[in-house]
Structure 1
């Protein structure tokens, strides 16, 4: 299958605008699926899933959230927060109309915010390893790995080795899959250095202060009113077993073996689980 098409629009966030770009797969007249990645990732994480969905006739838009990949950067660190991301994605979602949403970690939180809006047009919702309760200990782990992220890498192999270490909970990925993630996680800076593809300031509010629990149960009650599938890595420290049990009172929850936070959605059974639910 051909490589994805690159789409873009200017997205407003209250005090200005930013260039929002996404990787688009499948027929332009297919029922849209919006895929949104985690905190330090990008839209190319969804290539395997997007190819499968596109082959089923779906139009798939894999967004690079502002500050990541090929989207523009926000002017101040404190703007890197879910409410601002929701503002930035709102015009795209409005243009799409009826759509499905697949959100990994941060992408799931953004999806909750979008789904809870009045007159939301989200049809089905896949939440990948995040919930309305996130424990302080998991926030602290994320703070630590972001604070310790190298500012540059000797070469692409060094960057891949770093990703294999910090994202080991993604699961047992193949060498080709790790190479794919590394290729789309690298950016060559103007001075020739190999760096990560995101704005170093994306930690924003998360990096400010001591870690604390996040509780969003009222938001979840509204967001989960539509058919929803929750995926939980069996060793996840962000989506705890007791949180998943509480979520399962309203929606379908599936535990993915052999991984933690978060399932990479590259393995065939994971792709089939999502694609069958969205069908």
Structure 2
């Protein structure tokens, strides 16, 4: 099954998304990580598409979506939630399950809480946090801030693929064809003809102008839905002490949260193998 590529205007920006599955099926939103694109969700979406309508957006400033005109104000979780709220309304999505990798998990958390966008409260039925948590490791955030604003450039796509294979090794196993697709769907040409990762470097202003944007315990505590946190066993971003705390407060205190450590991965599991699919399927079944 192949997706349909579509565009919507959300919060005044052209937002690209891929749509998989039947239009009348239950909806899953699959939201990618910080410097990534909707294509990261291809394998998971293909797995879910026979049973679900799967919507995979490119966040503003990533992939084929428009770049922010006011990056210091708009590259932040509250604006991403506004875009998500508009996307729900434009696509006539009454309710949806949410699968979010890294940043995409944080976007799902703040959407499900309803604290930023009250109209979304009660419309997210379950939340899968793929190597994301309400508090992230400071050292890892500093590492991300250091590289995200200065993406490297290369003379060839093959050199860029070698770079991606190195930096995204913590994703776990990917086939050669998956690495090639990850590269080709994450590449843009610069004016001098060199290639670089396909995102707006100004998105790093989320970390300089919104320094505590990923400290979102208040949003997590407001959740009253099933939550599954997948932690890559070697993750440097999601700390075990934080996942333990997740089980004692908010949905964890109500018996709605679960934490699973994913072997062979760091930040973040690629959600592209049967073992990962089974974890997603289990949450969706629990929330049905």
CA distance in 1, matches of 2:142, 2:194: 29
Q: Supply the distance in 2 between the matched residues of 1:258 and 1:170 (Cα, whole angstroms).
A: 8
3-state secondary structure, aligned to 2:207: helix
Q: Could you tell me how far 1:271 is from its partner in structure 2?
A: 1.6
Q: Which residue of the partner structure matches residue 277 of structure 1? A: 283
Distance 2:122 2:196 in 1: 37
3-state SS of 1:28 partner: coil
Task: Normalising by structure 1, report the TM-score.
Answer: 0.91
Q: Which residue of 2 aligns with 1:121?
A: 123
How far the C-alpha of 1:141 sits from its partner, in A, is 1.0
Check conservation: 1:134, 1:213, Cα contact below 8 A. no
Q: Which residue of 1 aligns with 2:162?
A: 161
Q: Cα distance, 1:244 vs. partner?
A: 0.9
* 1:235 is the counterpart of 2:234: yes
Contact 2:76/2:213, CA 8 A, preserved across alignment: no
Write the mapping of 1:1-279 to structure 2, written as runs, cut at 5 A.
Answer: 1=1, 3-12=2-11, 17-55=12-50, 57-78=51-72, 79-94=74-89, 95-117=92-114, 118=118, 119-150=121-152, 152-189=153-190, 192-207=193-208, 214-223=214-223, 225-249=224-248, 250=252, 251-279=257-285
What is the SS of the residue equivalent to 1:133?
coil
Distance (Å, rounded) in 1 between the aligned partners of 2:4 and 2:132: 29
Q: Deviations over 1:166-199 (max 9, x none)?
A: 2121113222221121111112346644222111
Q: In the alignment, is the contact (CA less than 8 A) between 2:149 and 2:202 conserved in 1? A: no
Unaligned runs of 5+ in 1: none
> Residue 205 and residue 88 in structure 1: after superposition, are their counterparts in 2 closer, same or farther (change >3 A)?
same
Contact kept, 8 Å, 1:101 with 1:126, in 2: the verdict is: yes
- What is the aligned length? 270
Work out the CA distance in 2 between the residues paired with 1:126 and 1:93: 18
Shift of 1:76: 2.5
Relative distance call for 1:155 and 1:172 in structure 2 (3 A) is: same
Checking the alignment, whether the CA contact within 8 Å between 1:139 and 1:212 is kept in structure 2 is no
Q: Distance in 1 between matches of 2:151 and 2:243?
A: 30
Residues 14 and 66 in structure 2, CA contact (< 8 A), matched pair in contact too: yes
CA RMSD of aligned residues (A): 1.8
Unaligned stretches of 5+ in structure 2?
none
- Sort the Cα spacing of 1:87 and 1:212 in 2 relative to 1 into closer, same or farther, 3 A: closer
**8 Å CA contact 2:232, 2:265 repeated in 1:** yes
Q: 1:213 to 1:75 in 2, by over 3 A?
A: closer
Q: Secondary structure at the match of 1:277?
A: helix
